[in-house]
Amino acid sequence: MMTAGRLLAFLLLNLLFLPFGWGQQGKPVKTTITKVGGGFTIMRNGQPYFIKGAGGTSNMEQLKAYGGNSIRTWSPYQADEILNKAQQLGLTVTLGLDVKTERHGFDYNDPVAVAKQKEYLRTVILKYKDHPALLAWGIGNELNLHYSNPKVWDAVNAIANMIHELDPNHLVTTMLAGINQKEIDYVKSKCPALDLIAVQVYGGLASVPEQLRKTGWNKPYIVTEWGPTGHWECLQTPWGASIEETSHEKAAVYKSRYEASIGQDKNCLGSYVFLWGQKQERTPTWYGLFTEAGEENEVVDVMHYLWSGKWPENRAPQLDSFLLDNRQAKDFIYLESGKTYPMEVFVRDPDGDKLRIRWELLQESTDLKEGGDREERPQALTGFIKNSTDDKGTLTAPSKEGAYRLFVYANDGNNNVATANIPFYVRSTLNKTSGRAYHFSPVPVWSDEFNYSGLPDKSKWSYDIGSLYDGWGNNELQYYMEASRSNSLVQDGVLKITAKKENKGGKSYTSARLTSKNKGDFTYGRFEVRAKLPRGRGTWPAIWLLPTNRKYGDWPNSGEIDILEHVGHDQDVVHISTHTQAYNHGINTQKTNKKKVSGVSDRFHEYRVDWTPAYIKGFVDEQEIFHVDNENKSFKEWPFDQNFHWLINLAIGGNWGGKEGIDDTIFPATFEVDYVRVYNLLE
């Protein structure tokens, strides 16, 4: 990184040699898109222009010094100051237009409100359309996030048409949350006035070119937000805290994902990395490339390299691992209140700079928002960290039960920093029963390996038939068939449950649901399956357990254990849950967790639950992602002391599976199960 003096000298020299046109207010720089070499490129003032940008308006001098050339805003707030500063530095601006969202209460069925919004935006366009730093207009931000009214796209197109009438010199886009077929189809049919689209993705950045091709989008695009693995995509603790990557892990994924997508796709016109600054979103360090003190983390080094082709002279510290009680964050750490535990960080500096370590303890944030909305930062807790040396110390667990997060910062004295944090949960008294080490039989006591051909083994499986209780209580749209080879067949060593687009019993789809009721019923044990999930919007595969005799009454009183659920509109996100009278999705209190698992529809993965008298744990590919304890209160919290049986099914549509509609081009859709196994609980 540059020192302050060298940075200032660089910027002054840069300003001296800016083209004359930059100093002239009121003269727009013509920007267009042209087809070149099998792809597209931006032509700005007649010259090719690839966006090497960042989201955010702070630290613009560093962005320029490190090889960046553009910034992106989310609204026209302080646009005069931002555009003028960008012009002085030789940067361009994609200026955000603060179009209102349905999730914040705006009604696109209200023509008066829609017209009023458009007229407000007209004043913004007229004010800034001739600024020489302007590159493009961004209509709204993630208007497709939690929306239902497609009229928003009519409004977007009307705004785009207005911009082109008022400003023929600049590009117009809209920023989409993720990539899915529905929104791409809407944009193609309803928004012809857009010059390009802008997508915003995190963990899935590397697959953006392929995803866009699959949706049929073969036109230009930019990526206006990308960064670390998102808090909704990563591993979560049983108490719901997302596990953040270290700054070193982030640096690796920023580089690899950029090089796999933005760096090579000829239809991509550039990007804006997120966030060129700092903000509280789940944590104070998750998305910002800078700390609150203005320190630069290792991702800034990566952007310096990606933008300029060379690494900075002085590199940021690289944090290898961080331990609390000799455990990592992925070990799901529970601590006992009042007890003292060791903490240690392993960090190195590529330049041999002496590192200064600081620690911080926060309560887990409860001000959780979506779409980047502003969150309040938790206050730091003092007096719990003792005996800290450069890389070691002790933490005394707070007396108040609840979720916390321990942070570490390693500064090299040159404004560079490495960061990491560990979420943990404090229990006032650790549940001794929960802490018991249970064991299971080494071989299954009941299983189906599906190493035969034909219909499923009738000694182990029966069928739920039809579409009872208004689509099985979830408004599902399939009719479950009994012993139908076209819907449930064992072949090539796997069970294949196939959903088809065909009418039956007043429903538009057929499928199958297998049940082991009265043929495979168990209290406690390890329940394990290996499965490959169907792909496509509208599918809802599940492997789960229900009570055989409903000891405490109908659902949810007698409980439910979901070993695996997946909905096609949220590809690769798998869920494990339990439901009881006290904790169920009907009242939004269910015990649940999810995990992003790459390729669940491309290859087999292992899903399992360990059910004991004290707890139920859930695993994906041997990694624990779910944990619920027996609170030892009543059946309302813990009805799991009776026989349960298996269910395996592929539902179509319904309250959850059909939340974003059904893609009828995916049928037939097949759910494959390699084996189902039960291991006895050993006392």
- Supply the residues annotated as catalytic: 560, 565
Name residue, tokens 């009872």. 468
Burial state string for 48-59 with b = 16 or more CB within 10 A and e = fewer than 16 = ebbbbbbbbbbb
Cα-to-chain-centroid distance, residue 125: 33
Name the 3-class secondary structure at 457.
coil
499 to 33, 34, 507, 509: CA distances (angstroms): 44, 44, 12, 7
Please give the distance of CA 523 from its chain centroid, rounded to a whole number. 35
The answer to whether 195 touches 170, Cβ cutoff 8 Å, is no
Q: How do 318-324 and 340-348 pair as beta strands?
A: antiparallel
Contacts of 423 (CB under 8 A, 6+ apart): 237, 241, 242, 243, 329, 333, 364, 403, 404, 405
Q: Are strands 385-386 and 392-396 parallel, antiparallel or unpaired?
A: antiparallel
- Give which of 178, 176, 186 is closest to 204, Cα–Cα: 178
Asked if residue 212 lies in contact with residue 223, where contact means CB atoms within 8 angstroms, the answer is no
- DSSP single-letter state for residue 365: P
CA–CA dist 22, 6 (Å, integer)? 24
Contacts of residue 228, defined as CB under 8 A and 6 or more positions apart, other chains included, come to 202, 244, 245, 250, 253, 254, 286, 287, 299
Q: Are 478 and 652 in contact (CB under 8 A)?
A: yes
Q: Which one-letter amino acid corresponds to residue 384?
A: F
CA 128 – CA 123 distance, rounded (Å): 9
Radius of gyration of the chain (CA): 28
Q: Which residues contact 247 (CB under 8 A, 6 or more apart)?
A: 285, 297, 298, 299, 316, 319, 417, 418, 419, 420
Separation of alpha carbons 427 and 99, rounded Å: 45
CA distance 283 to 55: 18
Give DSSP secondary structure letters for 203-237.
Answer: TTGGGHHHHHHHHT--S-EEEEE--S--TTTS-B-
Q: How far apart are CA 71 and CA 224, in angstroms?
A: 10
Element at 304 (helix H, strand E): helix 298-308
Q: Are 33 and 43 in contact (CB under 8 A)?
A: yes
Give dist(CA 384, CA 57) in Å, integer: 36
- Beta-strand relationship, 318-324 and 539-547: unpaired
Q: Which tokens go with 76?
A: 């026209």
Rounded to 10 degrees, what is the CA torsion of 383, 387, 390, 396? -50
